[in-house]
Amino acid sequence: MTDHIPRILLADDEQSIQTLLSYPLQKDGYEVVQASDGSEALARFEEQPFDLVVLDVMMPRIDGLEVCRRLRAKSQVPIIMLTAKAEEIDKVLGLELGADDYITKPFSMREFRSRVKATLRRSAMTRDGGPAEEERGALEVHELRIDLDKRSVRVRGDEVRTTFVEFEILTTLAQSPGRVFSRDMLLTRIWGDSAYRDPRTIDVHIRHLREKLERDPKDPEYLFTVRGVGYHFRDRAPR
């Protein structure tokens, strides 16, 4: 494994927030590139590769939601949204546009650092080939093929673009067919813990996966709900 200093793009129009968040990130050993609005964030992203993007929702010129949409159209980089509103609509919109996680202001620095570390840790594991050799290779189930090395998904012969978190959820479930995972278990598997996170985040990502993979999302072939418990991947071919 080669030494790699994670580079984070931090976009927020409030200088005080930039200073508050940049210092602990730099202290943790990350390189931080700042942007004061959405337009600048998009420009900085074009200049160099990033391991993580942190976007404030409310920014001038181009807001964080639109930046998220544009980034997701061309990149699978992990994205964390910051929102000053506690309303559910902000959280859902960010996830709908492809964000991997969100944090509602005001938040503790401990929470912020925990989210960043967990996302970068998981991203590094996938970049370096995963935690174990047996988890590598490809999974083929019915008309679905998941290439773990290339982080690619094909269903019925067509390529499917997944976000960072969508791919992690899919592979976690597919590697243990038939096993039921609670929402907290999935949060822990993907981010390292379930602290500070709304379990309903998993529901949104599962819905997106079904829309991309299933012929009929309401009658799934691959991703099944166990009401009141969680989700599991198909364990046998349909009859």
CA distance 196 to 239: 41
**pLDDT for the residue 137:** 80
Contact 101, 122 (CB under 8 A): no
Q: What is the pLDDT of residue 239?
A: 43
CATH level 3 topology of 133-233: Arc Repressor Mutant, subunit A (1.10.10)
Q: What is the CATH number of domain 7-127?
A: 3.40.50.2300
The residues near 80 (Cβ < 8 Å, ≥ 6 apart) are 52, 53, 54, 55, 99, 100, 101, 102, 103, 115, 116, 119
3-state helix, strand, coil in the chain (%, to 5): 40, 20, 40
Please give the pLDDT value at position 8.
97
Lowest mean pLDDT, pick from 51-60, 85-94, 140-149, 214-223: 85-94
Q: Structural domain boundaries of the chain?
A: 7-127, 133-233
Per-residue pLDDT band at 4 (split at 50, 70, 90): confident
DSSP β-ladder status, 101-104 and 79-83: parallel
180-193 pLDDT, tens per residue?
999 999 988 877 76
DSSP states of 197-217: --THHHHHHHHHHHHHH-SST
Q: Which residues contact 175 (CB under 8 A, 6 or more apart)?
A: 135, 139
Global confidence as pTM: 0.71
Contact 224, 177 (CB under 8 A): no
Nearest to 192 by CA among 162, 155, 165: 165
Residue 92 or 130, more confident: 92
pLDDT of residue 84: 75
| Predicted pLDDT at 131 | 44
Look at residues 124, 203, 119, 214 and name the one whose alpha carbon lies nearest to residue 160. Answer: 214
Assess whether pLDDT exceeds 90 at residue 200. Answer: no
Model confidence at 86, in pLDDT bands (50, 70, 90)?
low
pLDDT, tens digit, 9 for 90 and up, residues 21-78: 999 999 999 999 999 999 999 999 999 999 999 999 989 989 999 999 999 988 989 9
How confident is the model at residue 44, as a pLDDT? 97
At 7, is the pLDDT very low, low, confident or very high (cuts 50, 70, 90)?
Answer: very high
Residues 175/135, Cβ–Cβ less than 8 Å: yes
> What pLDDT does 218 receive?
93
Q: Are strands 79-83 and 52-56 parallel, antiparallel or unpaired?
A: parallel
pLDDT digits (tens, 9 = 90+) for 122-177: 777 655 555 444 446 888 998 999 998 888 999 999 999 888 889 999 999 999 99
Highest mean pLDDT of the ranges 114-118, 162-166, 219-223: 219-223
Q: Can you tell me the distance from the alpha carbon of 67 to that of 53, in angstroms, rounded to the nearest whole number?
A: 10
